Amino acid sequence: MKEKIIQYIEKVDNLSAKTSSEIENIRIEYLGKKGLMNELFEQFKEIPPQEKKEIGLLLNNLKKSVETKIEFLKNSIENSYSKEEDKEDLTKPYNEKVLGSSHPLSIVRNQIIEIFSSIGYVVEEAGEIEDDWHVFSALNFAEEHPARDMQDTFFIEKREDNNHTVLRTHTSSVQVRTMEKQAPPIRMIAPGRVFRNEAISARAHCIFHQIEGLYIDKGVSFADLKQNLLYFAKEFFGENTQIRLRPSYFPFTEPSAEMDVSCNLCGGKGCNICKGTGWLEIMGCGMVDPNVLEASKIDSSIYSGFAFGMGIERIAMLKYGVRDLRLYFENDIRFLEQFSSSF
């Protein structure tokens, strides 16, 4: 019996198979109910006790060899599946590398920057962590203004002197930083992230993006404001775009206005995006309040200026017909890859 088992071990070592059904046949032949292993274990019962130890070991070795061989054959079939095919067709197109695309908010931000840069605006930046002075007080917010409330503002540190550390709630803080470090004429835009303590929904988020604009010089008038914003609207939304300015209120501008553009989806006829009005509200603006100039030590008897601010998410929603703001932040490739653009 000993010789028989050794012969089988050698035989198993030389087994080969090309398909999985051949492997299955080997398994049945050796390990199946009526297979060789069970037959040998039956015979094992009959052998004299003094041979049992040696033969038992050999039998176990044979069983292990069969199992190892079957595993090996299975693996080699799996790994060799396409090697032949790959060799065959050298003319096949290569697998194109999938490149990422710019985020829709980056695309829109860059377009806005480009338009304002073309008429002399310079990009300014400042920190996202700010103090009360630059976000509120220097912008003429009254002490009890609701925007300072815990409900809107993320406070980082409360301070004795009330100049609390906050996350900026708007990019208007960059106006103040720029006026502090630079004498007029000033012509700047400030793109950046802003933070508000709001519940996240299809229309609101606690983190979003704005672009602030500021122009200060001698003799700047409301007509300049209108002309600059009309130029922007035509460049961004198309040559036929109209604008209208509605009176509004912001603490830092006087007079203040809300700017609408004619709906570029229905051409002003009225649709569900513009809610039948033919107009889309896109930004706040106004003449810089003299108190704001004075707070940053700019003489309001010599200089005047205008400011404007818009939300990038909203502009991108109008441009691309995006209905839910949360899509911008979920990083779902199926959403993002629709916005192709050069890097």
Give least dist CB 253 to ligand DAH, A: 4
Name residue 146's amino acid.
P
Q: Do 241 and 234 meet the contact criterion of CB atoms below 8 Å apart?
A: yes
Residue 305 touches ligand DAH, criterion: CB under 6 A? no
Q: Report 242-261 residues binding ligand DAH (CB under 6 A).
A: 250, 253
- Which one of residues 130, 131, 132, 212 is an interface residue with ligand DAH (CB under 6 A)? 212
d(CA 305, CA 217): 6
30 or 141, CB closer to ligand DAH?
A: 141
Give least dist CB 315 to ligand DAH, A: 13
d(CA 330, CA 301): 49
Residue 289 touches ligand DAH, criterion: CB under 6 A? no
Please list, in sequence order, all residues whose beta carbon lies within 8 angstroms of the beta carbon of residue 106, skipping any fewer than 6 positions away: none
Q: Do 77 and 19 meet the contact criterion of CB atoms below 8 Å apart?
A: yes
Helix (H, G, I), strand (E, B) or coil at 68: helix
In the stretch 126-165, what mask flags binding to ligand DAH with x, by CB under 6 A? ----------------------------------------
Q: How many helices (H) and strands (E) does the chain have?
A: 13, 10
- Calculate the CA 336 to chain-centre distance: 8
212 or 260, CB closer to ligand DAH?
A: 212
Total residues at interface with ligand DAH (CB under 6 A)? 11
Residue 188 touches ligand DAH, criterion: CB under 6 A? no
Give least dist CB 330 to ligand DAH, A: 24
Residue-wise DSSP of 71-115: HHHHHHHHHTTTHHHHHH-TTSPP-PPPPP---HHHHHHHHHHHH
- Which one of residues 164, 286, 298, 315 is an interface residue with ligand DAH (CB under 6 A)? 286
Give least dist CB 306 to ligand DAH, A: 7
148 or 170, CB closer to ligand DAH?
A: 170
Give least dist CB 242 to ligand DAH, A: 20
Residue 170 touches ligand DAH, criterion: CB under 6 A? yes
8 or 215, CB closer to ligand DAH?
A: 215
Q: Do 295 and 140 meet the contact criterion of CB atoms below 8 Å apart?
A: yes
Give least dist CB 86 to ligand DAH, A: 58
Residue 307 touches ligand DAH, criterion: CB under 6 A? yes
Cβ-count burial 122-159 (b if 16+ within 10 Å, e if not): eebebeeebbbbbbbbbbbbeeeeebbeeeebbeeeee
Give least dist CB 126 to ligand DAH, A: 14
Residues that bind ligand DAH (CB under 6 A): 170, 172, 212, 250, 253, 284-286, 307-309
